[in-house]
C-alpha cells in the first residue's frame, strides 16, 4: 500500500493546530475558515484503516518445513473506517475490549504506525510523515513500555528530557515541581529506573510524558499497576495539568473510573469500529436504562403488603425486584419516575434508609458488548 499523501486542499480543509503550531494556509478563498479550523482541532481522522498481514503455518515438523518455502497469509483488520475529530483542550476517553483497536489507533496518531488507508492529522501534521515535528508537541504513555532510561536515576532522565524537548525554565519549574509533589516522586529521584516497581515506573513515566506541557497527551493505561490511593493522586494530577496548560487529553484504559474522573467525552471502539462518540452524560442517557431504589426497612413487610405494593409500583413505572426481610429493591427505566416511586415507598413502608443507584459505566459497557456480539454472529 502506497503511503498516504496529503493534498493542499485536504490540509486547508481539516488542518489542526496547538499552542506552539500555527499553520498559515496560502490559498484563494476560505483562508479565514481554514485558520479557524486549525485553531479549533487537535486531531482529525477520516476513514482510517489499519490491516495486518499474519502468516498462517501448519502445525508439526512438516508444517514448519513447508513454511520455509511457502506460507499462507491472513488479513486482520485492526481499525476499520474510523472517523472522529477532537477539539483543542478536550478530555476524551478511548475505551474498548482487548483487541478493539485502541492501541493501534494511538500508534497511528503518534506516528509509530502508518495507516493502511484513510487520512489523519494531529496538530496540523501527518503523524507518519512528520514524526520529528510532532514528537516535541505530544506526550505519550504506553502502559508497561517506559520511555525512561533504564540504567540512570529518574532525576537525570527528567533533566535529559528537559534538554531534549528544550523546555523553557518557567514551564519546567512548574511541571517538575508539580510532578514531584503530586506524584510523590521525591524518594524515587535518585533511584535507577530498573530498580523501580511497576507502579513507581508508571508514576515516573507519567511525569516524563507531561514534563514539557505537551499540546496533546496520549495516555494508554496510565494507572496500570497502581494502588487505589495512588490512582486517585494520578487522576487528580492529570486533571490539574490538563487544566493548567489546556492540553488535549486522549486516554485509554480498562479501569473505567479513570474515564469518569478525568474525561468529558467518550469514544467506544469494538473490533476496530466506532460504536459511540459523545459526552458521558449522553452515554448514560442512552445506555443507563435500568436504575434502582434500595431500601432498608425497620421491620419486614407482610406478604399482602408486598403484593399490593408491587401492583402500585408497576403503575408508576417501577418493578419490585426484591422484598425479603429488611431489604427492598425497586428497578425502573423511565426518566423522572424516581420521585413518584420514592414517595410511594416512603408512604407504604417503614423505611430506615434509602439509596438511589444508577448503572455504573462498567456495567453499561459490558451490556453494550453483550448486545453487539449476538448481532454480529447472525
Question: What nine digits make up the cell of 150?
Answer: 533504564
Rounded distance between C-alpha atoms, residue 289 and residue 332, angstroms: 8
Per-residue confidence at 112, pLDDT binned at 50, 70, 90?
Answer: very high
Per-residue confidence at 10, pLDDT binned at 50, 70, 90?
Answer: very low
DSSP codes, 80-93: EEEEEEEETT-EEE
Rounded distance between C-alpha atoms, residue 166 and residue 178, angstroms: 19
Mean pLDDT in residue range 181-200: 92
Write out pLDDT tens, residues 123-158. 999 999 999 999 999 999 987 677 888 899 999 999
- pLDDT score of 40 more than 50: yes
Among 365, 368, 359, CA closest to 291: 359
The pLDDT value given to residue 14: 35
| HEC-encoded secondary structure of 195-242 | HCCHHHHHHHHHHHHCCCCCCEEEEECCCCCCCHHHHHHHHHHHHHHH
- pLDDT score of 107 more than 70: yes
> Per mean pLDDT, which of 13-27, 28-42, 250-264 is the most reliable?
250-264
For the chain, the average pLDDT equals: 83
Do 269 and 98 contact (CB within 8 A), yes or no?
no
Per-residue confidence at 37, pLDDT binned at 50, 70, 90?
Answer: low
The pLDDT value given to residue 30: 46
Do 82 and 44 contact (CB within 8 A), yes or no?
no
The burial class, CB within 10 Å (0-12 / 13-18 / 19+), for 289 is middle
Write out pLDDT tens, residues 305-316. 899 999 999 999
Count CB neighbours of 59 within 10 A.
7
Question: What nine digits make up the cell of 49?
Answer: 484503516
Mean pLDDT in residue range 5-31: 36
- pLDDT score of 5 more than 50: no
Q: Which domains does the chain have, with CATH numbers?
A: 8-284 (3.40.50.300), 289-358 (3.30.70.1150)
Do 149 and 230 contact (CB within 8 A), yes or no?
no
The pLDDT value given to residue 144: 66
Residue whose grid cell is 508508571 = 202
- pLDDT score of 7 more than 70: no
The pLDDT value given to residue 267: 94
Among 150, 128, 125, 122, CA closest to 45: 122
Rounded distance between C-alpha atoms, residue 290 and residue 159, angstroms: 52
Per-residue confidence at 18, pLDDT binned at 50, 70, 90?
Answer: very low
Amino acid at each position: 500500500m502506497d503511503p498516504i499523501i496529503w493534498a493542499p486542499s485536504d490540509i486547508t480543509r481539516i488542518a489542526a493546530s496547538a499552542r506552539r503550531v500555527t499553520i498559515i494556509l496560502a490559498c484563494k478563498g476560505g483562508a479565514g475558515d481554514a485558520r479557524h479550523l486549525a485553531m479549533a482541532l487537535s486531531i482529525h481522522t477520516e476513514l482510517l484503516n489499519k490491516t495486518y498481514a499474519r502468516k498462517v503455518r501448519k502445525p508439526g515438523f512438516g508444517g514448519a518445513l513447508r513454511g520455509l518455502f511457502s506460507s499462507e497469509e491472513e488479513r486482520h483488520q485492526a481499525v476499520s473506517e474510523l472517523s472522529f475529530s477532537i477539539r483543542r483542550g478536550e478530555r476524551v476517553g478511548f475505551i474498548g475490549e482487548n483487541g478493539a483497536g485502541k492501541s493501534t489507533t494511538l500508534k497511528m496518531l503518534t506516528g509509530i504506525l502508518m495507516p493502511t488507508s484513510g487520512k489523519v492529522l494531529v496538530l496540523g501534521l501527518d503523524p507518519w510523515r512528520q514524526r520529528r515535528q510532532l514528537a516535541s508537541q505530544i506526550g505519550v504513555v504506553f502502559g508497561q513500555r517506559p520511555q525512561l532510561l533504564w540504567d540512570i536515576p529518574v532525576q537525570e532522565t527528567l533533566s535529559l528530557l528537559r534538554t531534549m524537548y528544550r523546555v523553557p525554565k518557567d514551564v519546567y519549574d512548574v511541571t517538575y515541581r508539580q510532578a514531584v509533589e503530586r506524584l510523590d516522586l521525591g524518594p524515587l529521584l535518585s533511584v535507577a529506573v530498573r530498580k523501580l516497581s511497576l507502579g513507581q515506573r508508571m508514576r515516573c513515566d507519567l511525569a516524563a510524558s507531561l514534563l514539557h506541557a505537551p499540546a496533546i497527551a496520549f495516555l494508554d493505561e496510565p494507572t496500570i499497576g497502581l494502588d487505589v490511593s495512588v490512582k486517585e493522586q494520578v487522576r487528580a494530577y492529570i486533571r490539574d495539568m490538563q487544566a493548567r496548560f489546556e492540553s488535549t487529553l486522549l486516554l485509554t484504559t480498562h479501569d473505567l473510573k479513570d474515564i469518569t474522573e478525568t474525561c468529558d467525552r467518550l469514544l467506544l471502539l469494538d473490533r476496530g469500529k466506532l460504536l459511540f462518540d459523545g459526552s458521558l452524560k449522553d452515554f448514560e442517557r442512552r445506555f443507563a436504562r435500568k436504575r434502582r431504589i434500595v431500601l432498608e426497612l425497620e421491620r419486614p413487610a407482610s406478604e399482602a403488603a408486598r403484593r399490593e405494593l408491587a401492583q402500585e409500583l408497576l403503575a408508576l413505572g417501577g418493578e419490585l425486584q426484591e422484598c425479603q426481610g429488611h431489604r427492598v429493591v425497586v428497578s425502573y427505566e423511565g426518566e423522572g419516575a424516581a420521585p413518584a416511586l420514592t414517595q410511594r415507598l416512603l408512604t407504604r413502608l417503614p423505611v430506615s434508609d434509602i439509596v438511589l443507584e444508577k448503572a455504573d459505566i462498567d456495567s453499561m459497557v459490558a451490556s453494550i458488548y453483550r448486545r453487539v456480539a449476538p448481532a454480529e454472529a447472525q
